[in-house]
Chains A and B, each alone.
Chain A
């Protein structure tokens, strides 16, 4: 089998799995689980084989024209370089883990067949984005992901949170997708083709006429998909979906697409210094803001969501300083440990019966209940906080190293200011990341108070996956940082001494600070009882999670916030805590800026429709009604009347004909 055929199979297999799952879901429930797990597994094998064959060498290009599409041709094209090969492995790997985990997590869910099919479709769309060598084909995958995320986030559509979250995810990402589409057209018009190789060739020859405009338009779509400031607000709310979906979205598919897209078209962005600066500022604001917000969240999954936003900030930061190798390196290691974090959080939520950290901190013995989740999550949190030798350390240091290079002004195309922004924000975020990782670990696993409720043993499918994912979280960075430059652009990813010491030191400082504050605040734990626990010893994890999400607002007054004085985050943030908990009021700003005007316009339209247009419509209906009443009166049922009218008409016509014929 040629490499091209194998590469085509990679997105195709999950797609066929999704189609078969949707078709057979009702009629043959026994096939659903194999159909969910095997296609991603096969795709993983194919992707690995493709990567081995490609081997970091020159990019594999193949294309076929399906049909002539006018002035700018659209081809079915593959463009597989080192980035694509490795990201595809990550996507397929995480998707396989998520599918296996879901068989246990949603084992009693009546909508599992459609869920599994949508996850497969989601995976297939992401793989299409990864391998596509044509921007329009890429866009197809991009949009399919948008609609899949809408369905999957809204999986528990019985709860109002899930409905609102799915709509929000869809609308916010679409808000970015509109300029993205325009940007793609502008790019293709300048390049004369949608093929990525041609576009890059045009950029290299300086053929791009409006680089800043195109780059900024594309950035809007990237910000929407990759949840960058200011379009990141959908991601924390998307936690209303099932945990495996969160893991998939955050680790491998949706949010990674934006970063991957920029990495692929980095020369386009490098053509405009302003765009790089905007990207750097965006990354810096995203990083620090999400770090602060993560420290104030009560929902364990929202903490992880904000941490995802922050880590994506690192990746866009790496792109802003022109090092896509570092960005994709961080994307890969982050994919592994963030998937692990989410899947472990799902286990924890199931065991604790709540998603609230405040309630978990009042439970004793949670770590004995779920030892697998405890140990794997510890590994993943250490990776997240970038403590050596976990994989997060190497990838994050490569980002900071690249930023340092740029700050010295030694990187081509990148303004020095961008480097400084990313470097400073990255270091601040390192403190914050360590702080919220420590806070999460302490509150979730070192609670005091009543014994944690017993929800029975976790399914084997769920715990095994955790250990499988723990391996790359632990070792991937250390093993790969020497090998990866050969696959990427060739820039070194080895940590530099200065940033390593700075980053690790700051992380340790953040962790120790949190630990100290926690020791002080934890004494007040017992005096403020708090918490609500959903207890379903027999129910599957999905049911427990749906109830926990639905009961968070009634129990604590807000979906993200709990009035817990024993929270170390409260003491650490001080007056900022209140604002950080609600994501710095960005939702309120959006409500004032967009939602209210739209609602006002809608009510105006409603008024116009009801009072103005309907009057005409009503009148147009009333006139025929009156005429109809008159005609109806003539319908007496008396046949003689009808015949009289008929014959009278005939006489009139006959006379008229005679008059005309005689010329009178």
Chain B
């Protein structure tokens, strides 16, 4: 099999995930897009591992091992990520990313008091 097929598929999947991360509003959908990106990388790792185990007589199978590690890390990531999203949702009443703008620059020399007021408003 040509290596180009999995490689191109992986690139396309990665960019799809990229689009999702940048364009989605809901934080959980963003997490899904991140999963897509991780999987695209996994596909790449597996494909290259299969190729190299034949072409270069590589017995380490580092690609597959790394894939397993990535999967484990992704599982941890999704757990923590969801916990964070839920905590944010509990505190703010929303999980929309573009509404979490506490780091925004104020209209003109916004004093810290105003930001604090805004924060308490969001909390309430």
Q: Do chains A and B touch in the complex (CB under 8 A)?
A: yes
Q: Which residues of A contact B (CB under 8 A)?
A: 632-633, 635-640, 643-644, 647
**Could you say which interface size class chain B belongs to?**
10 to 19
In contact, A638 and B101 (Cβ under 8 angstroms):
yes
* Cβ contacts under 8 Å, A647 to chain B: 18, 22
Interface status of B97 (Cβ within 8 A of chain A): yes
Distance A635 CA – B105 CA, assembled complex (angstroms): 5
Q: Which residues of A contact B102 (CB under 8 A)?
A: 637
Q: A638-B97, A638-B98 are in contact. Are A643 and B21 (CB under 8 A)?
A: yes
Contact for B103 among A633, A637, A643, CB less than 8 A? A637
| A639 CA to B21 CA, complexed, in Å | 10
Flag if A632 contacts B97 (CB, 8 Å). Answer: no
> Is there an interface contact between A632 and B105, defined as CB atoms closer than 8 Å?
yes
Q: Please report the C-alpha to C-alpha distance between residue A651 and residue B23 in the assembled complex, in whole angstroms.
A: 17
Known: A636-B101, A638-B97, A640-B98. 19 other contacts (CB 8 A): A632-B105, A633-B105, A635-B104, A636-B104, A637-B100, A637-B101, A637-B102, A637-B104, A637-B105, A638-B98, A639-B97, A640-B21, A640-B22, A640-B23, A643-B21, A643-B22, A644-B22, A647-B18, A647-B22
Query: Which residues of B are interface residues toward A (Cβ below 8 A)?
Result: 18, 21-23, 97-98, 100-105
Give chain B nearest CB distance to A362 CB in angstroms: 67
Write out the residue numbers on chain B whose beta carbons fall within 8 Å of the beta carbon of A643. 21-22
What are the residues of chain A within 8 A of B100 when measuring CB–CB?
637, 639
Look across to chain A and name the residue whose beta carbon is closest to the beta carbon of B105.
A635
Q: How far is the CB of B108 from chain A (nearest CB, A)?
A: 8
A633 to B104, CA, bound (A): 9
The 8 closest A-B pairs by CB, nearest first: A637-B104, A637-B101, A635-B105, A632-B105, A637-B103, A638-B98, A644-B22, A636-B104
Task: Tell me how many residue pairs across A and B have CB atoms closer than 8 Å.
Answer: 30
Question: What are the residues of chain A within 8 A of B97 when measuring CB–CB?
Answer: 638-640
| Nearest chain B CB to A606 CB, angstrom units | 30
Closest Cβ of chain B to A153, distance in Å, is 49
A304 and B101 alpha carbons, distance in the complex (Å): 79
Alpha-carbon distance A498/B104, docked complex (angstroms)? 99
Q: Which A residue sits closest to B18, measured CB to CB?
A: A647
Q: How far is the CA of A637 from the CA of B21 in the complex (A)?
A: 16
Q: Which residue of A has the minimal Cβ distance to B107?
A: A632
| A503 shortest CB reach to chain B, Å | 81
Q: How far is the CA of A640 from the CA of B103 in the complex (A)?
A: 13
Chain A nearest CB, measured from B75 CB (Å)? 23
Residue pairs across A and B with Cβ atoms less than 8 A apart, 16 shown, are A632-B105, A635-B103, A635-B104, A635-B105, A636-B101, A637-B101, A637-B103, A637-B105, A639-B97, A639-B100, A640-B21, A640-B23, A640-B97, A643-B22, A644-B22, A647-B22
A230, chain B: closest CB distance, angstroms: 58
Residues of B with C-beta under 8 A to A632: 105
Output the least CB separation between A626 and chain B (Å).
13
A633 to B108, CA, bound (A): 10
Kindly list chain B residues whose C-beta atoms are within 8 Å of the C-beta of A636. 101, 104-105
CA distance A636 to B103 in the complex (A): 8
From residue A647, how far is it (CB to closest CB) to chain B in Å?
7
- Among the interface residues A636, A640, A643, which one has the most CB atoms of the partner chain B within 10 A? A640
Residues of B contacting A639 with CB < 8 Å? 97, 100
Provide the bound-state CA to CA distance between A644 and B30, in Å: 13
Shortest C-beta distance, B101 to chain A (Å), equals 3
CB distance from B60 to the nearest CB of A (A): 28
Distance, CA A638 to CA B104, complexed state (A):
7
B104 contacts which chain A residues (CB < 8 A)? 635-638
Residues of B with C-beta under 8 A to A638: 97-98, 101, 104
CB nearest to B103 among chain A residues? A637
Separation of A644 and B103 alpha carbons in the complex (Å): 17
In the assembly, what is the distance between CA of A639 and CA of B97, in Å?
7
Inter-chain contacts of B101 with A (CB < 8 A) = 636-638
> Across the two chains, which residue of chain B brings its CB closest to A636?
B104
Give the residue name and chain of the B residue nearest to A639 (CB). Answer: B97
Contact residues in B for A644 (Cβ distance below 8 Å) = 22
Q: Using Cβ atoms and an 8 Å threshold, which residues of chain B touch A640?
A: 21-23, 97-98
- A637 and B98 alpha carbons, distance in the complex (Å): 8
In the assembled complex, the Cα of A287 lies from the Cα of B102 at a distance in Å of 82
How distant is the Cα of A638 from the Cα of B96 in the complex, in angstroms? 10
Alpha-carbon separation in the docked complex, A404 to B105 (Å): 90
Closest A residue, CB atoms, query B99: A638
- Nearest CB on A from B36, distance (A): 15
Min CB distance, B95 to chain A, in Å? 13
Alpha-carbon distance between A636 and B100 when the two chains are bound, in angstroms: 10
**Closest Cβ of chain B: how far from A646's Cβ, in Å?**
10
Alpha-carbon gap, A632 to B10, bound state (A): 38
CB distance from B69 to the nearest CB of A (A): 24
Specify which chain A residues have a CB less than 8 angstroms from the CB of B21 in the assembled complex: 640, 643
